[in-house]
Amino acid sequence: MDFSVIAQMVVSGAFMGLIYALVAYGFQLTYATSKSINFGQGELVMVSAFFCLTLTNLGLPYWLMVPGGLLFGAVMGLVVERTAVRLALEQQSEGWILLTIILGLLFFSSAENIWGRDDRPFPTPISADPMQIFGVDITPLEISVAVGVFAIMGLIELFKRKTLLGKAFEAVSADRDAAELMGISATGTVMLSYALSGMVATVAGILVSPITTVGPTMASALILKAFSVAVVAGLDSGFGIVVVGLVLGALESLASFYIGSGWREAPGLVLLILALALRPTGIFGKAVIRKV
Amino acid sequence: MKGQWKRFLLLRGVELAALVLLAAVPLAITNPFALALLTLLAIYGILLIGLDVTVGYLGQVNLGHAAFLGIGAYCAGLTVAILGWGMPAALAAGFAICLALGALLALPALRLEGPQFALATLSFSALTTTVINEWESLTQGAQGLQVARPPVLGVALAAPGFYWLCLGLLALVWMAMRNLLGSRWGRAFEALRDSPIATDAMGVGTYRHKVIAFALGSSLGGLAGGLYAFNFQYLQPQSFTYELMVILLLGVVLGGRKSLWGAFVGAALIVLLPNLLSNRLLFQIFSAIGLGLAVFAAGRGLAKKTTKPFQALAPVVATGLLLVGSLLVANTEDWRKAIFALTLFSVVVGLPEGLMGFAAAALTKVFRIASAPLPDAAQLESVLPARAAGGEPLLELHQLMRHFGGVHAVDGVSMTVSAGHIHGLIGPNGSGKSTAVNVISGLYAPSGGEMRLRGKPLPVGSLFKVAGCGIARTFQNLQLFGELSAIDNVMVALKDVFHTPVPLVMLGLAFNEERQARAAALTLLQLVGLGARARVRAKDLTYGAQRFLEIARALARKPELLILDEPAAGLAQPDVAELVKIIRRVHELGVTIVLIEHHMDVVAELCDVVTVLDGGKVIAEGPAHVVKRDPKVIEAYLGAVATEVAQ
Amino acid sequence: MKKTLIAAAMVAVSTGLLAVQTFAADTVKIAITGPFSGGSAPMGTSMRDGAKLAISEINARGGIDVGGKKMKIEVIERDDEAKNERGALIGQELASMGDLSGVIGTVNTGVVLAGDKYLNEKGITKIITPAAGSQSMTQWARPEVKDLSIFRFAAHDGIQAAMVVEEAINRKLTKVALLHDSTNYGVSGRDDLLAQIKKQGGKLEVVATEKFNIGDKDMTAQLLKTKAAGAQAILIWGIGPELAAIANGMAKIGMKVPLIGGWPLSMSNFLENAGKNGNGTIMPQTFIEEPITPKAKSFIAAYHKAYNVKRIPSPVSAAQGYDAVLIFAAAVKQAKSADTHQIKEALEDLKDPVPGVITTWQHPYSKWDPAKEETHEAFRREATVMGMVKDGQVVFANDADRARLTKAAAGKGK
């Protein structure tokens, strides 16, 4: 087969894979403090994207819209934590699974009615005209996705490893009560992680919307892939998520080309089930020791 | 006896009356739309009963059930289209294929809990939709498949006939599931949910029961799917997605988990929901009622301090939003998903038992139906036969090792437990006692060394396999089946008692076996002094009672070797004395006991031999009074300074 | 006892709900059904809003004259969400309503296939609009169907496919690619295109046939294949925002060939999301949002005002919804009754012309003949023109068409 076509598919797919990785990072942040993830994260991405669209339509320039959107994302993350997660964490149950699903549904329905059910274009100052790099068509938009994703991930890794607050994340997840006794507010840390996760969702929305357009259903496709990436890489791995994201994106693209576009979802799903079956903690994750 | 019959008639009679009432509807009402809804109600009833097995009994969030509905539907439809089968065969095909696929999916899902399980089922659901969508040569993909309704034994079924078929199947499923879930299977499923570790340790394989539960639930989904196909006579892949799944969850949770009536009520709600939403006035009335209930419950909960402020207020806010929304929005249909979400939210937070749970609790107070009486206790001899134990080596450990990375928790422990002895295992915190016991019982595989039971190698790394060898244990951190009653906890562990095969259980023919099991369990409860609290839920027992319950449960295994991991931890003095008596009684029956303890007086009173561990190694062994004075032992517990004092 | 009471109460409530479906006695009840949510929503909502515009205008004049008495029109809305099983349930529900005069709507072919059988069973009159898939009517083309209460008011795919193929041939193209979505509409559209290519002399070679799913955002795989095969144009049949993804995808890989396809290419979500990449796209239309005739002008102005928009999301759906109501009302008037069976009889033989937005309708339907679906199809080739996307609007692709329609309207002095 024509090499340039394969290269094109792999590269385009890999860029999309970076978005999956970014959303997966949102999971990682909250898992790191509370072993919980927001099953409605996709809807969070979508609602933040819509909010940014509204800001833009109200006349805000791009560089003002971004911080506005980030603030919104943080607030929404806090809302998720307070309404859907905290109660379950306090009861040490897993009720947050169902509750975050429910909250996601609520966001979805609200978005449908507030912004309408249509997909809308998302304005961006970055051009979507392709450039040829090594024979492959790449748009500056896609490059901005890569830049954005790596920047955010770098920041998060720095945060986790170098700052005290980052260490607090690990402490709370390892032993909530002990951390509290050490003067770390478990609730506060969990809140912070959800706020950060919300901001990551906003960044993902801003980066991906110009490519996929903004619509109520934009996230439902994204979210399963992000789950796949998070689980296959391991919910507590750092860089592994980027690697798995790139690979998954490329695989999907190749699958849709060679097998048929409808089968694009298949690699991610099969990988997810296999990963869960064979190595639930992920390729790069740490094994868990049960204590009785 | 008479009371029993009265109770039986009341409960069964009620179900029968409901069935007759529903069956009579087509004779009274000719509105085809009403009949269509009731048919859908029967179908969803079967579907939700299947979902309840994983969501209610196993306590997992199962996001794949809608996929099984779809698979069953397509299988049934295709067997008719391609193979020309009649309806019974087509329905059986849907049932069987989903049974097999459910078991297959359970294989990767079986090791997972919580969010990973939800994700695995979600992926399966998405994968199913993709396959159905893409396999156009078979399924017609997104264009949809026209399905002809086949005859049943040569008789074509029009509207009332098909309805009666669905209703009949619902009744059959109802009866079978009621019998099954009230038997050891239901108990095993619930035990799985509360403590998978203890379930394995009590010889009830978590693996196989999870797979069976999931397969069973999925097969019911498949059966419902076949009926679904023949009801609508048109299938498309987009019908069986996530959105349907959320609605099904809503039905199960709202109706009430672990309850057949709950599944039925949930199904009724799902079926009526679209109608409810399109009629604005009706919706307003319902949300007003909901708000009223929420406020009432909130007030009561806050006053009695049984609920936290958030738990009380959140449903009020949610139902309030529903009511306000119903008054303000232009079109309630547009906000359908939000309405589901808010309703589900109120129920999950404020009414976790669901409507039926709430209603049942409220109504039992009003009607005061006594719970079924317990049978007389069996003879202890038959439950726990005495053994002759002559002091020969029972359990031998040779250089046993268990490392966790750099931590050598157990570092070359050799020990022999003689039959009929009470063998103490003591040592300061972190010395490796619990780890050693966890290795023996199979929670961990050893990193090195050997273990022999009666000369034969002990199975490693599997609680289930070790439990099958005649070793039973209790846990340092209680691993009770919290939601089950005390007697049910013991019944889960009973060995060699349940022989009835599944089909006969479903037909209700296991009641004799059940009665005998209950009697045996009662005997063991009486042995530990809990006979009067047999029906109390394990998590509602006092701490001391819970500790004793674990012992009774372990004894149900008729063990040769009983391992007690800090049974006196946290007990008040009177309970400690009681514990000593219990252990003596068990010892008299010839059961060999390994006792880990910190209470030195208990150890001294009971143990024939004591092994002392420190830093993963054995530092002393011998009779209790000798070991107590050993300077190495004193140093291990108290530190080097004390050795000077002793000297 | 306790639980049975609850269960019995539920059963009673449910049957009660259904039995009690009473309306005011002296209105003409029309149900409007379509996708008001989901990817096809612009078409559904535009159809509904156009129809309701006509209804409010009729009601403002006092209602329809039914044998001397003025009866207002009452609307029942049902959202089928473009889902087939919703269509089935809605079909059953509407079929069981005792005093429904008729149904107007449905956009998705699959929904039509799932639900219309219940309506026809009871002889309830339905005007399908704007669903264009051939199967919606061909499903009835069996000799045993002697009587049909279902009518269609849209330019069906037989007409549209013919126009699309003609356009490609007129441009002197020889190699085309067919892209279609996986719904009934897309697949039957593909079949219609293939049949038309054959019928028009086999002058076009189909170098690639690719499909895509609803919800797909990235069409690079399919487009790369069509580019590699050397396609000079893409003939496309789809019904949602995927169409815009194709246009954008083509721009991304530098594929500058004409995009010609089915009428949904005029939807607002295509225009907005494709942006400048949509310019030059060609599709058959029954109505262009240009005020070239007085009736069109007043309709457009009234729609903009009533629904507070600057552009009708799907002009074809809106105009067809509007005119369908006018035709239905004319049938009611002629039948002198709100009974659905009598309305059907009148519809099959409308004596007076109905001046609509799209055109003046003269005897659009005749008695159902299973060998000729045209008897229940209102549109012919002459009523359909080619539209073209230009700067976010749909305009006449051929000035000749604009001139012809303007002249025709002027000639009638309206």
Interface contact flag, C273 A121, Cβ < 8 Å:
yes
Nearest CA-CA distance, residue B542 and chain A, Å = 20
Residue C223 identity (one-letter amino acid): L
How does pLDDT run across B113-171, given as a tens digit for each residue? 778 788 888 888 988 988 998 888 888 887 788 888 888 887 888 888 899 999 999 99
Q: How confident is the model at residue A291 (pLDDT cuts 50, 70, 90)?
A: low
Task: Kindly list the distances between the CA atom of residue C142 and the CA atoms of C139, C171, C373, in Å, as whole numbers in the listed order.
Answer: 7, 38, 10
When comparing pLDDT for C77 and A176, which is higher?
A: C77
Cβ proximity of A1 and A10 under 8 Å = no
pLDDT at res. B44: 95
Looking at the structure of chain C, the number of domains it has is 2
Interface contact flag, B338 A276, Cβ < 8 Å:
no
C305 touches chain A (CB under 8 A): no
Cβ proximity of B620 and B443 under 8 Å = no
- Indicate whether C207 and C303 sit together in one domain: no
Integer Rg of chain B from CA: 29
Question: What angle, 0 to 180 degrees and rounded to 10, lies between the N-to-C axes of helices B2-28 and C2-19?
Answer: 10
Interface contact flag, C110 B356, Cβ < 8 Å:
no
Q: Give the side-chain half-sphere CA count within 13 A for C274.
A: 29
Nearest CA-CA distance, residue C26 and chain B, Å = 21
Interface contact flag, A262 B434, Cβ < 8 Å:
no
Share of chain C above pLDDT 90, in %: 50
Question: What angle, 0 to 180 degrees and rounded to 10, lies between the N-to-C axes of helices A186-212 and A62-80?
Answer: 130
Residues of A in contact with B112 (CB under 8 A): 276, 280
Distance separating alpha carbons of residues A50 and A205, to the nearest angstrom: 9
- Indicate whether C186 and C249 sit together in one domain: yes
The contact set of C with B (CB < 8 A) is 1-4, 6-8, 10-11, 13-15, 17-19, 36-37, 77-79, 83-85, 88-89, 92-93, 95-96, 110, 113-114, 181-184, 187-188, 213-214
Token representation of residue B78: 């295709």
pLDDT at res. B640: 61
Size of interface B-C (CB pairs under 8 A): 127
Residue C399, Cβ density class (10 Å: 0-12 exposed, 13-18 middle, ≥19 buried)? exposed
- Indicate whether C376 and C329 sit together in one domain: yes
Return the CATH number at C202.
3.40.50.2300
ipTM of the complex: 0.85
Cβ proximity of C163 and C384 under 8 Å = yes
B312 to chain A: closest CA residue? A87
pLDDT at res. A1: 55
pLDDT higher than 60, residue C17 = no
Interface contact flag, B246 A112, Cβ < 8 Å:
no
How does pLDDT run across C249-308, given as a tens digit for each residue? 898 888 899 999 999 999 888 888 888 899 999 999 999 898 888 899 999 999 999 998
Distance separating alpha carbons of residues C342 and B437, to the nearest angstrom: 86
Residues in chain C: 414
Token representation of residue C172: 């002197």
Least confident of A17-21, A124-128, A145-149: A124-128
Buried b (16+ CB within 10 A) or exposed e, B535-559: ebbbeebeebbbbbbbbbbbbbbbb
Ranges of residues in chain B with a pLDDT under 70 are 1-7, 361-372, 639-647
Distance separating alpha carbons of residues C137 and C84, to the nearest angstrom: 16
pLDDT at res. B366: 65
pLDDT higher than 60, residue A224 = yes
Buried b (16+ CB within 10 A) or exposed e, C332-363: bbbbebbebebbbbbbbebeeebebbbbebee
- Indicate whether C178 and C109 sit together in one domain: no
Cβ proximity of C98 and C21 under 8 Å = yes
Residue C363 main-chain phi, psi, to 5 deg: 45, 60
Instruction: Identify which of B175, B60, B185, B178 has the alpha carbon closest to the alpha carbon of residue B488.
Output: B185
How does pLDDT run across C312-334, given as a tens digit for each residue? 989 999 999 999 999 999 999 99
Q: Give the side-chain half-sphere CA count within 13 A for B379.
A: 4
Distance separating alpha carbons of residues A232 and A252, to the nearest angstrom: 15
Contacts of B119 (CB under 8 A, 6+ apart): A227, A231, A272, A276
pLDDT at res. B466: 93
Instruction: Identify which of C289, C253, C256, C257 has the alpha carbon closest to the alpha carbon of residue C271.
Output: C289
Nearest CA-CA distance, residue B474 and chain A, Å = 10
Counting as contact any 3 or more CB pairs under 8 A, the partners of C are: A, B
Mutate to test the interface with C, among B39, B135, B236, B289 (most CBs of C within 10 A): B236
pLDDT at res. A282: 67
Instruction: Identify which of A8, A281, A23 has the alpha carbon closest to the alpha carbon of residue A152.
Output: A23
Share of chain A above pLDDT 90, in %: 23
pLDDT higher than 90, residue A280 = no
Interface contact flag, A119 C215, Cβ < 8 Å:
no
Question: What is the torsional sign of CA A42, A45, A46, A48?
Answer: positive
Residues of B in contact with C4 (CB under 8 A): 14-15, 17-18
C-alpha angle C86/C244/C262, rounded to 5°?
65
pLDDT higher than 50, residue C18 = no
Q: How confident is the model at residue C21 (pLDDT cuts 50, 70, 90)?
A: very low
- Indicate whether C94 and C201 sit together in one domain: no
- Indicate whether C255 and C149 sit together in one domain: no
C275 touches chain A (CB under 8 A): yes
B256: left (phi over 0), alpha (psi -120 to 50) or beta: left
Nearest CA-CA distance, residue A205 and chain B, Å = 22
Cβ proximity of C289 and C312 under 8 Å = yes
Token representation of residue C152: 């269609």
Interface contact flag, C110 B143, Cβ < 8 Å:
yes
Instruction: Identify which of C300, C244, C233, C293 has the alpha carbon closest to the alpha carbon of residue C267.
Output: C244
pLDDT at res. C413: 44
pLDDT at res. A104: 92
Give the 3-state secondary structure of residue C202: coil
Size of interface A-B (CB pairs under 8 A): 127
Cβ proximity of C239 and C39 under 8 Å = yes
- Indicate whether C358 and C404 sit together in one domain: no
pLDDT at res. B226: 95
With tokens 């009560």, the residue in question is A177
Tell how strand C233-237 and strand C393-396 pair up.
unpaired
Residue C396 covered by a domain: yes
Nearest CA-CA distance, residue C195 and chain A, Å = 24
B310 touches chain C (CB under 8 A): no
pLDDT higher than 70, residue A290 = no
Residues of B in contact with C2 (CB under 8 A): 359-360, 363-364, 366-367
- Indicate whether C142 and C37 sit together in one domain: yes
Residue A94 main-chain phi, psi, to 5 deg: -105, 25
Spans of all domains in chain A: 23-225
pLDDT at res. B645: 52
Task: Kindly list the distances between the CA atom of residue B422 and the CA atoms of B264, B527, B623, C293, C301, in Å, as whole numbers in the listed order.
Answer: 53, 18, 11, 104, 96
B334 to chain A: closest CA residue? A113
How does pLDDT run across C371-406, given as a tens digit for each residue? 888 899 999 888 899 999 999 889 998 888 888 888
Cβ proximity of B609 and B587 under 8 Å = no
C40 to chain A: closest CA residue? A118
Size of interface A-C (CB pairs under 8 A): 83
How does pLDDT run across C108-146, given as a tens digit for each residue? 988 898 899 899 989 999 999 999 988 889 889 888 888
DSSP C277: G
A114 touches chain B (CB under 8 A): no
Residues of C in contact with B41 (CB under 8 A): 14
- Indicate whether C273 and C178 sit together in one domain: yes
Q: The pTM is what?
A: 0.83
Alpha helix stretches (DSSP H) within A126-217? 140-162, 164-174, 176-181, 186-212
Say which of B61, B116, B134 has its CB closest to residue A263.
Answer: B134
Cβ proximity of B427 and B435 under 8 Å = no
Residues of A in contact with C212 (CB under 8 A): 261
Interface contact flag, A227 B122, Cβ < 8 Å:
yes
- Indicate whether C221 and C362 sit together in one domain: no
Residue C14 covered by a domain: no
Instruction: Identify which of B331, B34, B287 has the alpha carbon closest to the alpha carbon of residue C76.
Output: B331
Host domain of residue C79: 26-155+294-380
Question: CB B383: neighbour CB atoms within 10 A?
Answer: 21
pLDDT at res. B296: 83
pLDDT at res. C20: 43
Interface contact flag, B32 C113, Cβ < 8 Å:
no
Interface contact flag, B18 C8, Cβ < 8 Å:
yes
pLDDT higher than 70, residue C195 = yes
With tokens 């009341």, the residue in question is B10
pLDDT higher than 90, residue A161 = no
Residues of A in contact with B334 (CB under 8 A): 112-113
- Indicate whether C133 and C233 sit together in one domain: no
- The mean of the pLDDT values for chain A is 84
Token representation of residue A236: 């507590």
- Indicate whether C165 and C216 sit together in one domain: yes
Interface contact flag, A273 B114, Cβ < 8 Å:
no
pLDDT higher than 60, residue C8 = no
pLDDT at res. C2: 44
pLDDT higher than 50, residue C19 = no
Residue B408, Cβ density class (10 Å: 0-12 exposed, 13-18 middle, ≥19 buried)? middle
Element (H, E) at B562: strand B561-565
Integer Rg of chain A from CA: 19
Residue C17 covered by a domain: no
Interface contact flag, B120 A273, Cβ < 8 Å:
yes
Residue C18 covered by a domain: no
